Structures are given as structure tokens and as C-alpha cells.
Structure 1
Amino acid sequence: MRSFHLHLISDSSGETVSAIARACLVQLSEVHAEQHLWWLVRTRGQALRALEGVQAAPGVVLCTVVDPEIRALLEQGCREAEVPFIPVLDPVMQALGGYLQVEVGREPGRQHVPDADYFRRIDAIHYSMEHDDGQGMDRLGEADIIIMGVSRTSKTPTCMYLANRGLKAANVPLVPGIGIPDEVLRLKRPLMVGLTRDPRSLADIRKTRLKVMNDEANTDYADVERVREEVLTARRLFTRHGWPVIDVTRRSIEEAAAAIMQLHRNRAE
């Protein structure tokens, strides 16, 4: 496997440049990137320290610094070090500015300034934490999305991902022998979504969970046939109520959440 040095330079938290790098690197299956992270680069001194790191370990530089002076310093330093300098935001900002005939701002970290959308996400995160695993049933009507599924179908992390996108997401576990409360079934506002997983895969996940919890005596929880029956019963419930179902067997949390967000948008249209 080939390896190379990858320097990620940001004038803010580094989330954007990290996400871009991650999206690109997964397409390079035969390459390993030794990542060097340079966050909050906003002064000349910080930029020079980043360049010292680049010179010590030459490689590709991905940059989301927007200040023209700092950018120029970084670009010149990379030119002297004979390494690629890629300002990853430039093509999008230039295209938008040109199309809209407006001047593009150059304020570092502007995407992280608290605004209405920021506080909406914080509110959604608090809501999802308070309504995890069937808690807070009296306020479920406030949810944008209610996720249901048997144990270990990624309900909680999916809800938290949705909350980080500003959606109030609650989850209700499907426990064998215990039905869904009538007050949940009567709700009209929230989008109801069922999560499911291949029974054998789910049984393996539960076995691992039991080992971590030092509870391997609870064999029914991870028995493949019992798990298969749980999954089938849940599927029948989802079908009976006409709720959309997402199979998370081969989906990441992000992919499952993206599918749910699309369902939510379609419902709102």
C-alpha cells in the first residue's frame, strides 16, 4: 500500500476540510494518508508553523483558509516546498460569486457563528437525548421523527445524527411481548420510521454486546431464531401501519439518516 503525507489546514475547526479529505480518500483504496492537522490557522505565525510541518513532511496540502494574506503566505510556502497546494473551497465560492454577481466574504469560521439554525440544532440534540429509548413519552408529539426498531438496530446514533441536522428525533424500542403505547400510534405530526437489520448480523452484534456487558448467560437475546422472530414481528408491525422501513444491515449511520431526511422532506412537500 502506498502512503503519503496529507496536510489539512483550516482557519476554523477543520470539519470542512476533514470531511472533504475523507470523502476523497475512501476512493483511494490502495493508498494510506498520514494526516497532519493544522486547525485555527489565522495568523502569520500559525501559518509559518504549519509550513514548517509541511517542509518537514512534504506532501499534499488541502486548505480552507479564507484570509487572502494568510492564504497567499501558505501558497507561496507550498510553492517553495514544491508540494501541491489545493484551496478546496475556491471553485465553489468562485462559481457562486460569479453566478450571483456578489462578492464572496472572507471571514474565518463564519459557518460556526451561532445563529437560528445553530440554536435549532442544539434544541434538537437536547430533545433527542431526553427522548432516547422510549423516554419522555408525554412529549413525543413534538418530534419531527420517531424511529422504531428492535434492540441494536442503531436507533440512538441515528437519532443523534438527525438531531445534529436540526431534526427532533425520538426513538421507541420494540420489546418482545410489549406493544407500542396507543398514544404513540395516535400521533399524526411525527414521521414514523422503522429500522431493521439482517437477523444473523443482528445476532452477532448482540453477542458482542453481551460480551462487553459480561452477560453471556442471556442466550435468548442473541439467539438467531429468536432474533429472526423479533425482526419479522417488527416488519409486520411496520407494514400494518404503513411506516417506511430502512434496512441498516449494509448502511452506515450517515446513509440511514440521509434516507430518513429525504423521507421527511418528501413528506413536507
Structure 2
Amino acid sequence: MKSPSESYFHLHLVSDATGETLINVGRAACAQYANVLPIEHVYPLVRSMKQLERVLSEIESNPGIVLYTLVDKEIRERLKVRCRELGVPYMSVLAPVVQLFQSYLGGEPTPRIGGQHSLDASYFKRIDALNFTVMHDDGHMTEDLEAADVVLLGVSRTSKTPTSIYLANRGIKTANIPLVPNVPLPSNIESLKAPLVVGLVASAERIVEIRQNRLLGLNAGGSSTSYTDREAVSEEINFSRRLCARNGWPLIDVTRRSIEETAATIVALLAERRRRAIAET
């Protein structure tokens, strides 16, 4: 139900590529306004005047803020002119950044449509990392964990899999190992040298809540097991804390963290680890 204090506005995101940059920027800006909700209109792959005219018709029908990333000058100018005629605010989200780069680096940029999505070495690195991560999800293929960049450990419902996939999309090969009561860990886990091993924990209350919701979703809400028992869950968490402390592995409490925040912390730990390794050589 809509709160009486909430209001809506139309947000038009016009891109000649996938629109991911616009979506992220738009949502980051909207997040600063707790009681204002955007109605997103996303228009990817706008690369012709005919496509643009359909976009302009939508903007005219639903006036609001227009954000765009368009390389073609003619299409870009047509959008700007029409927005001025309609009296709607508009902005190129990359223009200020590109201007800053230009003032520092000198010379003219050479724009490419969807340049950040080109099939370069970085792209294939991400694909390789995603393949590795999918194959090493939830404790599978543990015999070659040494090939991972990051190994995540945690009890059930600490967001190991989504965090692994998010890291993989950054080109980081990630394996994740569940910590299950009475199930032994892979024999090689405590002797790993190459990967950064990170433990994920959350409060017992949070884990119990998530597990109960999961059982309800599986129509097993009436089951009474140690899976949702507060004391049993607390012991699982304590075991994971002791394991990480014994091996000197960093531990991240994900109770109030988003997957993006957890991943950012892991990326920072990985960067610091690599800096130390370089300094020691």
C-alpha cells in the first residue's frame, strides 16, 4: 500500500546501448529521496531517428526527468530540442565525466556506441569467471579451489551464491562452500594459498527469519528442525566464527549489508591482499 507521503514521478532512461549505466545512476539518485518513487521507462538500443520518435512520444505522454547516453550527435540533438519544447528536464549522465577526462587528458574523445560492452579481454574474463563460479557453487568441484580468486564460507542463508555471482560479474572467480552441521569441510580448504578465503555471517535472528520464510515458500512451514532452531543456528554461527579466527580469514557480517556492499568489501580486501603481496616481492 502506498504511504500517504509517497509520490511518484516518471524517469525516462534513453540509451544507444544496454541502458545499465543509466539505470544504476538513476536508481542511485532516487535512493536519496525516501518518499519519492520513480516510474522507470527504459529505452535501450536507441540508434535511429525512428526509434527516438517512439521514445519522444512516450516522454510527451508521461512527462518527467530524462537521462540519456547517446553517441550519435543528430539523435542527441533531436532529443534535447524536443525535451526543451516539452519543458521537461534532461541530462547526459556521461557528458560531465567525459568533459572532466578531456580537460585532464587533452584531445578529443572517440565515442563508441556500447563501448563499455565490447568483446575485449575484460569481457571474456568475466565470462570465464561466471563459468567458474557457477560450477563451484554450493560446495561443488572443491578439488580445484586453488584456482579461485575468492572462496566464500558461510552457513545457509548468508547470501553466498548471489554474492559469488556478483563478484564473478566483476571478473573475480568465486567458489562458495556451505558450512553444514556434521558435514566435514573439503580437506584442502585450510591449506589454500592463492584464493582469498572470506567468511560470511549474519545474526541468528536474521538467519532464522530467512530460513523460516524459505520453508514457508516450500510449504514446509510446520516443520520443526534444527534448521530454524535459534540455539542451533547460534551454534552454527559460532562455529563459523571460530573457524575463521583459527585460520585468520576475514569475516563479514552481512546482517545489514546488501549484496553490493558485501561484494565491495570483498573487492577491497582482495585489492589490499594484492598490494601487500606486491610490496613483499
Q: Please say whether Structure 1 and Structure 2 have the same fold, judged by a TM-score greater than 0.5.
A: yes
**Residue 266 of structure 2, aligned match among 244, 260, 267:** 260
What amino acid maps onto 1:32 in structure 2?
L
Deviation at 1:63, TM superposition (A): 0.7
Match of 2:31 in 1: 26
Structure 1 position 65 matched with structure 2 position 70: yes
**CA distance in 1: counterparts of 2:114 and 2:156, whole angstroms:** 39
1:90-169 correspondence runs (5 A): 90-169=95-174
**Residue 221 of structure 1, aligned match among 197, 202, 227:** 227
What amino acid maps onto 1:226 in structure 2?
A
Match of 1:48 in 2: 53
What amino acid maps onto 1:43 in structure 2?
S
Matched pairs, number: 269
**CA distance in 2: counterparts of 1:128 and 1:47, whole angstroms:** 39
Name the Cα RMSD after superposition: 1.0
**CA distance in 1: counterparts of 2:55 and 2:187, whole angstroms:** 59
Match of 1:194 in 2: 199
Q: In structure 2, the residue corresponding to 1:229 is in which secondary structure? A: helix
Q: In structure 2, the residue corresponding to 1:230 is in which secondary structure? A: helix
Deviating more after overlay: 175-184 vs 197-206: 175-184
Q: In structure 2, the residue corresponding to 1:117 is in which secondary structure? A: helix
**CA distance in 2: counterparts of 1:158 and 1:72, whole angstroms:** 41
Match of 1:88 in 2: 93
**Residue 11 of structure 1, aligned match among 10, 16, 24:** 16
What amino acid maps onto 1:186 in structure 2?
S
Deviation at 1:268, TM superposition (A): 0.3
**Residue 184 of structure 2, aligned match among 175, 179, 183:** 179
Where in structure 1 are there 5+ consecutive unaligned residues?
none
**CA distance in 2: counterparts of 1:17 and 1:80, whole angstroms:** 23
What amino acid maps onto 1:77 in structure 2?
R
What amino acid maps onto 1:49 in structure 2?
R
Deviation at 1:182, TM superposition (A): 2.6
Contact kept? 1:146, 1:169, Cα under 8 Å: yes
**CA distance in 2: counterparts of 1:56 and 1:47, whole angstroms:** 14
Where in structure 2 are there 5+ consecutive unaligned residues?
1-5, 276-281
**CA distance in 2: counterparts of 1:184 and 1:232, whole angstroms:** 18
Deviating more after overlay: 107-116 vs 190-199: 107-116
Deviation at 1:103, TM superposition (A): 1.3
Q: Which runs of 4+ in 1 moved over 3 A?
A: none
Deviation at 1:39, TM superposition (A): 1.3
Instruction: State TM-score, norm by structure 2.
Output: 0.93
Deviation at 1:218, TM superposition (A): 4.6
**CA distance in 2: counterparts of 1:49 and 1:7, whole angstroms:** 12
Match of 2:278 in 1: none
Contact kept? 1:191, 1:264, Cα under 8 Å: yes
Deviations 1:178-218 (A, max 9, x none): 33233121110000000000001101111111122233425
Contact kept? 1:147, 1:194, Cα under 8 Å: yes
Instruction: State TM-score, norm by structure 1.
Output: 0.97
Deviation at 1:102, TM superposition (A): 2.4
Structure 1 position 75 matched with structure 2 position 80: yes
Q: In structure 1, the residue corresponding to 2:255 is in which secondary structure? A: coil
What amino acid maps onto 2:49 in structure 1?
R
Q: In structure 2, the residue corresponding to 1:63 is in which secondary structure? A: strand
Structure 1 position 250 matched with structure 2 position 232: no
Contact kept? 1:197, 1:248, Cα under 8 Å: yes
